[in-house]
Structure 1
Amino acid sequence: MIEIERKFLVKSADFKNDAETNQRIVQGFLNSHPNRTVRVRIKGGKGFLTVKGKSSANGTTRFEWEREVPVQEAESLLNLCEEGVIDKMRYEVVLGNHVFEVDEFFGDNEGLIVAEVELASEDENFERPGWLGDEVTGDIRYYNSQLSKQPYKTWNL
């Protein structure tokens, strides 16, 4: 139940040529406190409830618990969420022994594309595709729970 992942900006749409799957995701947060988040998600016609703990100092590791729930219940729970629903398309790109989950955001976060790769250990090596940009692991602004409060379109870049 420990999740180890690194997060990167994406610098081109070339990942779409390599994607094996893509699914629309709509999610909200029942609780978005940095020490613990409770997320409701609808992905591919299925509902999920996820609890995440506080990230490690470098942002790579944290507790994660997730369970599938009936989609009707997830839809009802979305109505109870804090303001700021996340809407995105997730693409999965397999490269070597790793799967990159690339999220292209819509709505108030349109223009933001990030990729995450899950690892077995914090120092595990992985192949970096050419479309992978700067690392933003541990930068709280890129957490979905924070994007729901401070959308990408409001940033002063």
Structure 2
Amino acid sequence: MATIRHLFHEMPSDRRRQLTDLAVKVSIPRATRLFEEGRRADRFWIIRSGQVALDQRVPGRRAAVVETLGRDELLGWSWLFPPYLWHLGAETVGPVEAVEFDAGVVRALCESDPVVGRAMYRYVAETVAERLHGTRVRLLDLYGPQGSGLDP
């Protein structure tokens, strides 16, 4: 699993410090809406404790939860790719402790420092790949003739 440790492992300590200096510790109450699908993605978080539900709008119905994220997971990757709009919505399940980053500042750091940029893009790409794999397994479990074939 791509964790924040993987991101920092890729960087020399001085680069790691540049990124951690941008982190802001936040406490987010239960049932807080963090972002909405289609709106501007201007920040992202690393969850330290608690859970956040990712959801997708369904016309005429309540938003469907597609995944729940927890400790040490990246919340938000849309900030890294134009047009910088959220692909999903997100809401805290309970109280959440996290570190928050200003997306524009981190993007500028990635552009100005190839070492940081490579590590960040790799971390986000690994996160997206893992989540796509998880979605595929869930879809096979729901709709496949014999499920995913993976043991629980």
TM-score by length of 2: 0.29
Structure with max Cα Rg: 2
Write 1 or 2 for the structure with the bigger share of helix: 2
Write 1 or 2 for the structure with the bigger share of strand: 1
TM-score by length of 1: 0.28
